[in-house]
Structure 1
Amino acid sequence: MKKYVQITAGRGPVECARAVTLVAREMLKAIPTLQLTDCEPHNRENGCFMSMIFATGETIPEATINEWQGTILWRSTRNSCRPGHKRSNWFVGVNFFDELELPQIDESDIVYETCRSRGKGGQNVNKVETAVRALHIPSGLSVKCSDERSQFQNKSHARERLLLKLRQLNDKAISASQSWQWSNHDNLERGNPVKKFSGPL
């Protein structure tokens, strides 16, 4: 069973989005088997992410999960996002969860379409419909996967990524109802990070 980990900036500013990237780099040193599965880039700044989701098929020791699960503090020694900004403490959230199941989602609500891939990969990629687009009809969410040469593998990956997006959509709905908590994130979490880092943003 796959294990997932999400690193999120919540509703924080661009510095928190930059901290997501930096915390992800540190986490990959501790858990090198993680592979990026999905991400939500910041809408203005390159190299900044509001959310990143990683997955691994390897077992992650419980001690490692406990070490990272919760709030992470990044104390900036230099702020390239907003030079001169007085604040230096930026927080991101880390959450581990198991492979997704579909108890509340009807498989008949997901439609799969095949299409030709574009880019490198030879004649097979360009001439055969190996790419797969998965559409969740009730929500309108869709993803396209063309990572593999096999249509079957691309369908499997597309389904997995669609489930992740549906989970994120649900999480955002819950977060929206508690937005006041995010707006006061520093006040609620300051002094309680499970891990601290320091360095330039």
Structure 2
Amino acid sequence: MRRLLLTAGRGPAECRLAVAHALQALAAEADAADCDCAIAQNEADRLGPASAIVVLDGPLADQIAQRWTQGPLLWVCRSPLRPHHGRKNWFVGIVDLPLPHQVPDLAAADVRCESFRAGGPGGQHQNKTESAVRAIHLPTGLTAIARDGRSQHRNRALALTRLAALLDGRARLAEAGEARLVHAAHDRVQRGAAGLRFEGPAFRAVE
């Protein structure tokens, strides 16, 4: 399991849009790799979140995380908010958010688990029963899914672990100490060479 922090840092509103685009692209890549992806973000941010936490779990989670954390993400696009603005480069800081040594337990009354049918890797191992599990944290609405276990019981345990990691990450980000991590990620954006690069309104990946 890997946990990532995506942040616009102290960048302008366009960087928040870049974070929103990046979350969609990361979730799509994870889905294509049959990797479960859970996201915690502030849905009230109309333009996009200033920061978001992503929990990746699955056989390719490490590979995906390493690709996305090789450097700051660069989005090259004319500002959709300020058409006459000269700047076209917008950055997103992406860093590993270390997992806790022990994921905290969740109160049973705060979680609803739902089972559903989901396919396995590449559709090769379609579940014959509804063994995939979606864990929903009722107070926050955050959701984590597990479909890679061999039984509903195993998937329930996996979904709860991922949900707890998501909630723990959000709690850590809310602490004063985590604010330094956000600023450090932004400073790294300004100093370092970009890692992943996307272009245009469609957020097209450029290799």
In 1, Cα distance between equivalents of 2:188 and 2:99 = 32
| Structure 2 partner of 1:126 | none
In 2, Cα distance between equivalents of 1:93 and 1:70 = 8
| Structure 2 partner of 1:87 | 87
Cα distance change, pair 198–99 in 1 and its aligned pair in 2 (3 A): same
**Structure 2, unaligned runs of 5 or more:** 115-132, 147-151
Query: How far 1:17 moved relative to its partner?
Result: 1.8
| Structure 1 partner of 2:7 | 8
TM-superposition CA deviations, 1:147-179 (whole Å, max 9, x none): 79x799667634532332222321343243577
Which residues in structure 2 correspond to 1:33-112 (within 5 Å)? 33=33, 34-41=35-42, 43-45=44-46, 48-49=48-49, 50-60=51-61, 65=66, 68-76=69-77, 78-96=78-96, 101-102=101-102, 105=104, 107=105, 110-112=106-108
Query: How far 1:189 moved relative to its partner?
Result: 1.8
The normalised TM-score by structure 1 is 0.59
Contact 2:73–2:197 (8 Å) recurs in 1: yes
What is the number of equivalent residue pairs in this alignment? Answer: 177
Overall identity of the aligned pairs, in %: 21
- Matched to 1:199, the amino acid is G
Cα distance change, pair 70–15 in 1 and its aligned pair in 2 (3 A): same
| Structure 2 partner of 1:121 | none
- Matched to 2:73, the amino acid is I
Query: How far 1:199 moved relative to its partner?
Result: 1.4
Structure 1 counterpart SS, 2:11: coil
In 2, Cα distance between equivalents of 1:71 and 1:17 = 14
Contact 1:72–1:92 (8 Å) recurs in 2: yes
Cα distance change, pair 180–100 in 1 and its aligned pair in 2 (3 A): closer
Cα distance change, pair 14–151 in 1 and its aligned pair in 2 (3 A): farther
- Find the structure with the greater CA-based Rg: 1
The Cα RMSD (Å) is 4.5
Cα distance change, pair 87–41 in 1 and its aligned pair in 2 (3 A): farther
**Structure 1, unaligned runs of 5 or more:** 119-129, 136-140
TM-superposition CA deviations, 1:66-114 (whole Å, max 9, x none): 56433111121x32233333332211122346765417x5x4xx42217
